[in-house]
Amino acid sequence: MPRHKPARLLAGLTLAAVAQPALASDLPSLDISGDVRLRLEQDWDSRKADASKRDERTRARIRVRINAKADLGDGFSLSGRVRTGTKGSQQGANVTFADFDDNPTGPLKITPDRYSLAWKGKSGGIEAGRMGFPFFTQNEFLWDGDISPLGLAGNAAIPVSSTTRLKLNAGGFKLPVGLSHYSGALYAGQAVVESGSATIAAGLFRFDADRGDPDRRVLLDGNGSRDYTVLALNAQYHLPAGSKPLVLGADFFRNLQSYDNPADTVAFANRKERTGYVLSAAWGDTKSAGHLQLGYRWFRMERLAVNASYAHDDLARFGTSAQAALTDLKGHDVYANYAVTDALSLGARAMFVERLTNIENGKRARMDLIYKF
């Protein structure tokens, strides 16, 4: 169902809460930032589940994101973001403006997708509104970075020793379906230990479906009608390698939910397919002009390991133009990024994937030109 009214009410209450102190003093400082990404993407040598060959495709796409943040003082800040996107997709911020194989292109739609009031103290903080994902992740296999949930989140940092701290993250959210509707909820908690060059995280992410909401049908494979309880374990280690940083990562995902109801045909048929793994390595960075980063990921994600409607939409042409279906796959992701200037970077990426349960597969390559301001 449409959720415009709650969003407007939240924004109105937020503005009312800060209006009086803002009028009584100087206007708060406003920071504007963002990025524009041009992408050339090709899909080739791909087969569908029925073994027929999928048409090859080459297209040009654009993503625009503009952020605004006002410092209200005393640790408070008001943030917002607008971005490009497709009306029926919560996952994608890309708009196709040229397709070299005569496939449809998309309209350039820019919409607000984040608006929040936050407070940050020395050892913790809280945020209310529509926000970025407030949990530690090192990739998008659990959560796509373009998705902004609506709700309340908080965190607390606890020193354990001079080199170690424990960070606790928690939150409850309404889940977007498309750009402006919501269906179902996410309740999550996570503990993160940071010690020297190592980071270890453990989190539990509960997706509660709203089976009475017709908007749930926007999501593929019945994901809007199905609960998920995902245990996510993450490890990351930084070390020097030839005067450059080397970051090693490992992720384990396990959906603890049981699916014993034959009426949910997808879940019942794949009820044992609930585990996912990701291994990654990245060398170098793009923090300054002339810097190079090289990276690799290996992944194996079973069908119900995570809720695919809120995970990444990058790796392959599986699903629809608005809703990706990128679990039940394994493969490789290789990338390189180069900082041309401090604000301009060039990226190249190649992805090779195949389904775990049928012969569907795909190959995808892309070039990205990104300008940040």
| pLDDT tens readout for residues 247-304 | 999 999 999 999 999 999 999 999 999 999 999 999 999 999 999 999 999 999 999 9
Instruction: Supply the pLDDT for residue 311.
Output: 98
Sites in the chain below the pLDDT cut of 50: 4-7, 9-24
Contacts 24+ apart (CB under 8 A), 286-292: 286/337, 286/338, 286/339, 286/345, 287/339, 288/339, 288/342, 289/339, 289/340, 289/341, 289/342, 290/339, 291/338, 291/339, 292/336, 292/337, 292/338, 292/339
Instruction: Supply the pLDDT for residue 159.
Output: 97
Instruction: Supply the pLDDT for residue 1.
Output: 52
Instruction: Supply the pLDDT for residue 23.
Output: 45
Count the Cβ atoms, other than its own, within 10 Å of residue 109: 12
Tell me what the pLDDT averaged over the chain comes to. Answer: 93
276 touches 300 (CB < 8 A) = yes
Considering only CA atoms, which of 122, 59, 135, 117 is closest in space to residue 317?
Answer: 59
Which stretches of 228-295 are DSSP H helices?
265-269
Task: Give the Cα separation of 332 and 241 in Å (integer).
Answer: 23
Its pTM stands at 0.92
Q: Which domains does the chain have, with CATH numbers?
A: 41-54+122-372 (2.40.160)
150 to 10, 31, 243: CA distances (angstroms): 10, 22, 42
175 touches 183 (CB < 8 A) = yes
Query: What DSSP state is assigned to residue 309?
Result: G
358 to 17, 52, 208: CA distances (angstroms): 54, 12, 29
Return the residue matching tokens 């209450």: 13
Q: First vs last Cα of the chain: how many Å apart?
A: 36
198 touches 174 (CB < 8 A) = no
pLDDT, tens digit, 9 for 90 and up, residues 101-114: 998 898 888 999 99
> One-letter amino acid identity for 9?
L
Instruction: Supply the pLDDT for residue 222.
Output: 96
